[in-house]
Amino acid sequence: MSIAPADAALPRAPDIAGLEPLRTVGSRWPMIISGLLTAAMVIGLVRELLASGLAGLNRAVPQSPWFYLAFGLLYLSPPIGDWIIFRRLWNIPFAGGMIALIKKRIANEVVFGYSGEAYFYAWARSKAKMVAAPFGAVKDVSILSAIAGNMITLAMIAVALPLGYDLLRSAGYLREVAGSALIVAGTSLPFLIFSRRVFSLSRRTLWWVFMVHCLRLVGGSVLIATAWHFALPTVALGMWLFLAAARLLVSRLPLIPNKDLLFANFAIILVGQDRTLAGLIAFTSAITLLVHIVLIALFGLYGLARRRA
């Protein structure tokens, strides 16, 4: 009778090497990256404020409090959508997670594209006890956000092109829109074809993240249309919804040289009230910048108070 090795009688421990927290106690690079990107956010906000923010805030201010309520929900919709995703993936806390995700949004808008992802990755690495390997999840969520935006953009092109064909042709943007649509579709195809090599999360989780991104984008369009409707109640909500979809479409077209001008012209042709509408669009951009500045200041004071405590 053969005798089994001594260790064969013992149950084999599961391989949890991939789940162990990373040893980042001695590494300070996440803090350095976070500090540099925070400084870049402040510089970008000051530059934007001096460039056009003050002019936008001098425009007509909406009087309805419902405008500001809808705008507040609109502002929070991207970080809330991301928080829902990372709450399921990492079980991140609400307060700390929302602060990091709001900074992620500000960095993407005022520093450069995807700098917010770099900031959030550094934040996640500094929370090693909460998540062991954040890069794969941050990468997957970012790619799916871009794919969701591209898919909704293509859907908006299919809906809006018959209605805006004459405007695009007269403005000389028809060829650019067609080329942009091909680029938008083309940039998503490699990730879909090689999804097994690109993505780290399970297929079921990927589909869930994709749906959250789609709902966030649609919800954002509804919220900005609602805010504009309360600012200019003489324009029907349905028209604002159409313009919100057009805004989302124009913002993601890569070959359009002046997206704001194209959207403003499109909106003025449909709605009229050129001076009032231009002021409303400028005010919406300016108040977004102002909220960025206020939140960065509050987060800085909060962090200073915690360090002193």
Write out pLDDT tens, residues 171-195. 666 777 777 778 877 878 888 787 7
Please report which confidence band the pLDDT of residue 290 belongs to, taking 50, 70 and 90 as the band edges: confident
Q: Which helix (DSSP H) or strand (DSSP E) does residue 55 occupy?
A: helix 54-57
Residue 286 has which token pair? 């300016």
pLDDT score recorded for residue 49: 57
In the chain, how many domains are there? 1
pLDDT score recorded for residue 23: 45
Are the beta carbons of 43 and 145 closer than 8 angstroms? Answer: no
Residue 227 has which token pair? 């805010």
Asked if residue 24 has pLDDT above 70, the reply is no
Judge whether 22 lies within some domain.
Answer: no
| Distances, alpha carbon 104 to alpha carbons 101, 108, 111, 193, in Å | 5, 6, 10, 29
Please report which confidence band the pLDDT of residue 17 belongs to, taking 50, 70 and 90 as the band edges: very low
Judge whether 6 lies within some domain.
Answer: no
Structural domain for 294, as ranges: 30-308
CA dihedral 271, 277, 278, 280 (to 10 degrees): -150
Kindly state the percentage of the chain with pLDDT values over 70: 67
**Better-scored residue on pLDDT, 274 or 144:** 144
Q: Which of 14-23, 97-106, 268-277 has the highest mean predicted lDDT (pLDDT)?
A: 97-106
Q: Which of 250, 267, 261, 224 is nearest to 75 (CA)?
A: 224
pLDDT score recorded for residue 299: 87
Are the beta carbons of 248 and 221 closer than 8 angstroms? Answer: yes
Judge whether 128 lies within some domain.
Answer: yes
Q: Which residues contact 304 (CB under 8 A, 6 or more apart)?
A: none
Report, as an integer, the average pLDDT of 270-280. 69
**Better-scored residue on pLDDT, 259 or 121:** 121
Asked if residue 26 has pLDDT above 80, the reply is no
- For the chain, the residue count is 309
Residue 113 has which token pair? 């594209």
Residue 265 has which token pair? 């012209």
Judge whether 15 lies within some domain.
Answer: no
Judge whether 2 lies within some domain.
Answer: no
Please tell me the pTM assigned to this model.
0.77
Judge whether 13 lies within some domain.
Answer: no
Report, as an integer, the average pLDDT of 106-129. 81
Residue 40 has which token pair? 């870049």
Kindly state the percentage of the chain with pLDDT values over 90: 23
Tell me the pLDDT tens digit for each residue of 51-83.
655 555 555 688 899 999 999 999 999 999 999
- Give the Cα-Cα-Cα angle 303, 307, 309 (nearest 5 degrees): 115
Asked if residue 42 has pLDDT above 90, the reply is no
**DSSP character string of 211-277:** HHHHHHHHHHHHHHHHHHHHHSTTS-HHHHHHHHHHHHHHHT-TT-S-HHHHHHHHHHHHH--HHHH
**Better-scored residue on pLDDT, 190 or 228:** 228
Are the beta carbons of 67 and 227 closer than 8 angstroms? Answer: yes
Tell me the pLDDT tens digit for each residue of 143-167.
999 899 888 888 877 776 676 666 6
pLDDT score recorded for residue 297: 85
| Distances, alpha carbon 150 to alpha carbons 58, 69, 71, 143, 289, in Å | 34, 28, 24, 11, 25
pLDDT score recorded for residue 16: 35
- Its sign, for the CA torsion 299, 305, 308, 309, is negative
Are the beta carbons of 45 and 293 closer than 8 angstroms? Answer: yes
Asked if residue 5 has pLDDT above 80, the reply is no
Average pLDDT of the chain is 77
**Better-scored residue on pLDDT, 202 or 38:** 202
pLDDT score recorded for residue 237: 84
pLDDT score recorded for residue 6: 45
Pick from 28-37, 82-91, 117-126, 170-179: least confident = 28-37
The single-letter DSSP state of residue 11 is P
Judge whether 120 lies within some domain.
Answer: yes
pLDDT score recorded for residue 261: 65
Judge whether 25 lies within some domain.
Answer: no
Q: Which of 97, 94, 133, 101 is nearest to 116 (CA)?
A: 101
pLDDT score recorded for residue 152: 86
pLDDT score recorded for residue 305: 82
Asked if residue 98 has pLDDT above 60, the reply is yes
